[in-house]
Each structure stands twice: as C-alpha cells, then as structure tokens.
A and B are shown apart, each in its own frame.
Chain A
Amino acid sequence: MKLRAQQALQKRRRSAFSRALRNNNTLEVILETAPDSQKKVAKKLKNFTEVKHVYENIPYVSIQVSPQEAAIMRESIENHAQNEFREQFSDLSPYLRRIEVAAPIKVPTLKKASTHIWNLERIGAYDAQMQTHGNGITVGIIDTGIDTDHPELQERFGNEIGYDFVEKNKNPKDEVGHGTHVAGIVAGQRYGVAPSSQLYSLRVLDKNGEGFESDTMAAIDWAISKDLDIVNLSLGAPFASQAFEDMCYAAAAAGLTIVAAAGNSKAGPAYPAAFGDPVIAVAATDRNDKHPAFSNIYDTNDISAPGVDVVSSVPWGYEAFTGTSMASPHVAGSLALAKSVGGSNLEQIMKENADPLGPSEKFGAGMVQVDRMVEASQSRLNFAQYGRTAVGMVKQIVW
C-alpha cells in the first residue's frame, strides 16, 4: 500500500477508535502481539476478559472489553502509561505491540432500500417462506468452506459441521469468502432462500479457489454416505473424468440432488453441471431477466436464477457477487423448500413451474419460481394422500 494511503488508513483507524470509546457498548478490540506470542497473550488475558479469537497465522488476538477498559489498554500499550492495566499485566508488556478497534460489520446499503431483496423477490422466495423455511432438509455446500460463526449462518449447523477435504480435517473454515456467500444464499437468515435448512460445509477448494476433482468426488461420496438431501457445487472445470460422472450418477441413484453452476466462460460445458441427467445445471440472469454474457450457453442448462449483484454473507460482512456460482444456490435453496413440504419429482416440478425466459441453451426451463414449486409440491402431496385414501376406500368396498 502506498505511504499516503497507509497514513490515511491509520488516521481513519485512530478516529474509529476514538468514536468507539464514546460509545457505551462493548467493543471488540484487536491486539497485535510480538511474533508467535498471540497464544501466550490470550492465555493470560482469558482471566481478564472474553478472548474472541486467537489467530493461528498472524500475531493477533481479539478480545471484548468496555470502552473504558479499551481506553486504559490503549494508554498502556501505546503511551506506556503506568495504569491499572500495566500493573495487572506487567509481564505482558514486552509482548503487546498495538491495539485497534475491530471494524464493525455493516450490511451494504441496497439500491432498493427495502426489506425485500431483488433476487429473493424475483424467485418468489418470500411467498414460499410463508409456507416453509426448509426445516429438516440438509444441504451440503461443496466449496471453499463456510464461516460458521457468521451471524447469518451460525444457527444453520448441527454438531457435525462437515469436512475439509483439502486439509483432511473436520474444521472446514472459509479462507476465501466464496463458500460463505453461496451458503448465505441457500440458508442465510436474511439473505437465504431456505433459512431453516441445515448446512454442511464440505471444503474442496483451497485459498485460491482451486481444487481437485477427486476431492469433489470425495465430498459427494461423503454426502451420499451421510444421506444428505441436496448438494450445491458452485464450481466447475471444462474437462471431467468418467469417474466424476460415475460419482454423480451414483449420487442421483442414491437420492442425492446435485445442483451445479453452469459456468462463466460464455459458452460450452462446465462440469459437473454439463453431465446432464444426474445434475441440475443452473444458468445466471440479471435484475432484468437478461442473460449475462458470462453465463455459459450450453444444451444441458436446466434452469435459471439470479446471478448478478447478489448480496450475501462473506467472512468480513456482506458483499454483492456476480456469477453462476450465485445462481446455483438459489436453486438448491428452492429445492430445499419444496422438499420440506413433501415434494417429490422435484426437478420436474421446478421446470414445470419456471417462468420461461427464452432459448433453453441460455435459460433452461426459465427462471426458478419457488413459490409455485412449494404450492405444486403441496398440492401433489394432498392429491397423493387423497388418492391413497380413495384407493383404500375402494379396496374396503371390494373386500
């Protein structure tokens, strides 16, 4: 960063700190420590206050304190003031370098300033949510991991969060933001289509957003074994192995619904979306229902959903992203809502109830309409129940 910009940022940080001190609320402050001393500092401070985060790879600790305590700490750390903090934590003095207030997470101001968000409105999510929020449906997000502590998503996980197939552990955190954004569209509290569905974070993409097909296969294999309902794959490659295709067919045979992004290379296949039958391929549309130039034109496209300027959660707050990555989770969430009311043959219901938009190579069956999907799932369920009752009555008469 250039010197002038750095100085301006420092100034903003100092004034943010001063503003925060005038507030009565508890603050989250970040302490920079000497290299590799963050754990030592955190251990000592735990007796004094709530330690929120001890960062593994950078010498920082974040803690919660009152504005008064923050002021005393700043005086001690920056100006070496002999105050109660310095007295109580004299042994920490050599390890503390700097203190700053953590920037509060803010929701970006939306162009349409209303509680309704264009993408959710467009697919009929608010009307569908009058009937169901997706309770009891499990959705695996095969992606870069998920920030499971994000306020938008923290209620969406059970005891088992998922699995990290990149690092081979059970702590699939998101270092990129992509997976958290996708998860927020599926099940975010405010920005999600199915805000009561249960999520699993299946990390297959590394911090550069890249991964191996074999890890993706392993994630699908895991989802089949755990009997998940739906997996979303906002990822792809122009080539794919036969083995990957076989895994997708195995998933479909096991009843796992796979939803995938159609790709962002304008035209041609992106796998797994382009595998055809076992995968629901989702193309993107913009706010005006137009086909954005990046969204792949290909004959396996099944359905469309909003994929331009979609706001959702990221580890540092909220952001608007663009891509078929964003379109795909709208459909995963829609299927979760329809399934939660007992829907079956969901792909057929989805296509029958879509808003036609144009050529299927661009749009598939058209814009997903989850309100109509839920309604159709309910009426089919009612019909099926009525049908069974009627058949039972006939049998009784015959016997």
Chain B
Amino acid sequence: MFGEQHIIGYESEEQREKLQDLLPKDLISYHFERTQTYVAEIEQDLVEKLQEEGYRVEKDNIIRMALPYSFPQPPS
C-alpha cells in the first residue's frame, strides 16, 4: 500500500535526529530548515506513530491555479 505525502514538523535537534531515523529516507522529498519540517510519503500507521510521539503531522495539500472556469486549451 502506498503512503500519502505529509509534512512533519519537529521542534528540537533531538526530535529532528529521531525523526530522520523514523522516516524512510528514499521517500523524503524535502527538508525545510526554515520551518523545521520534513516532507515525506508515509503510510497511515507511521502517521499515527509520529503523532503519538508528539510530532505535528499534516497532509500535503493539493494546490491549484486560480482560474474560475475551465482553462482554455492550447490550439492543436
């Protein structure tokens, strides 16, 4: 079963090191030092485990271009 992309926040260096061990390395897409967050594709059981351990885990939301109607297609 595939996981979904999540954003996981940490608050200390100790928490970061522990988190790095918990996350599957090949599924980490970003580490943002500025916001102290990792982005990784993780399965639901790991989401729950991280939440239990006090990490802030959020879904990586889908974002769309801001047009109200169907977008005109390029001419073929």
Q: Tell me the smallest distance from the CB of B57 to a CB of chain A, in Å.
A: 10
Question: Are A315 and B74 also in contact (CB < 8 A) when A213-B7, A224-B34, A243-B35 are?
Answer: yes
Question: Looking across the interface, which residue of chain A has its beta carbon closest to that of B57?
Answer: A241
Q: Find chain A residues with CB under 8 A from B66 CB.
A: 234-236, 261-264, 270, 323-325, 328
Q: Tell me the smallest distance from the CB of B13 to a CB of chain A, in Å.
A: 18
The A-contacting residues of B in range 6-52, CB under 8 angstroms, are 7, 9, 29-30, 32, 34-35, 37, 39
Task: Report whether over half of chain A's contact residues are helix, strand or loop; otherwise say mixed.
Answer: mixed
- A114 an interface residue at 8 Å Cβ cutoff? no
Q: Tell me the smallest distance from the CB of A248 to a CB of chain B, in Å.
A: 10
Contact status B68-A205, CB under 8 Å: no
- A237 an interface residue at 8 Å Cβ cutoff? yes
Question: Looking across the interface, which residue of chain B has its beta carbon closest to that of A212?
Answer: B60
Binary interface profile of A, 235-258, with partner B (CB < 8 Å = 1, else 0)?
A: 111011111101100100000000
Contact status A236-B63, CB under 8 Å: yes
Question: Looking across the interface, which residue of chain A has its beta carbon closest to that of B7?
Answer: A243
Binary interface profile of B, 55-70, with partner A (CB < 8 Å = 1, else 0)?
A: 0101111111111110
Q: Tell me the smallest distance from the CB of A383 to a CB of chain B, in Å.
A: 35
Most buried by A among B30, B32, B65: B65
The B-contacting residues of A in range 89-104, CB under 8 angstroms, are 103
Question: Nearest 10 CB-CB pairs, A to B?
Answer: A261-B66, A294-B68, A264-B68, A241-B58, A323-B67, A325-B66, A214-B39, A209-B65, A246-B35, A237-B63
Q: Find chain B residues with CB under 8 A from A328 CB.
A: 66
Measured between alpha carbons, how far is A131 from B29 in the docked complex, in Å? Answer: 44
Q: Tell me the smallest distance from the CB of A209 to a CB of chain B, in Å.
A: 4
Most buried by A among B56, B61, B62: B61
Question: Are A205 and B32 also in contact (CB < 8 A) when A178-B71, A314-B74, A321-B72 are?
Answer: no
Question: Are A239 and B61 also in contact (CB < 8 A) when A217-B32, A250-B35 are?
Answer: yes
Contact status B75-A316, CB under 8 Å: yes
Extra contacts, 7 of them, besides A243-B7, A243-B32 (Cβ < 8 A), are: A210-B65, A211-B64, A236-B63, A237-B62, A243-B9, A325-B65, A325-B66
Q: Find chain A residues with CB under 8 A from B29 CB.
A: 214
- A199 an interface residue at 8 Å Cβ cutoff? no
Q: Find chain B residues with CB under 8 A from A218 CB.
A: 30, 32
Q: Tell me the smallest distance from the CB of B8 to a CB of chain A, in Å.
A: 9
Contact status A177-B68, CB under 8 Å: no
The B-contacting residues of A in range 313-363, CB under 8 angstroms, are 314-316, 319, 321-325, 328
Q: Tell me the smallest distance from the CB of A25 to a CB of chain B, in Å.
A: 22
- A176 an interface residue at 8 Å Cβ cutoff? yes
Question: Looking across the interface, which residue of chain B has its beta carbon closest to that of A324?
Answer: B66
Contact status A322-B69, CB under 8 Å: yes
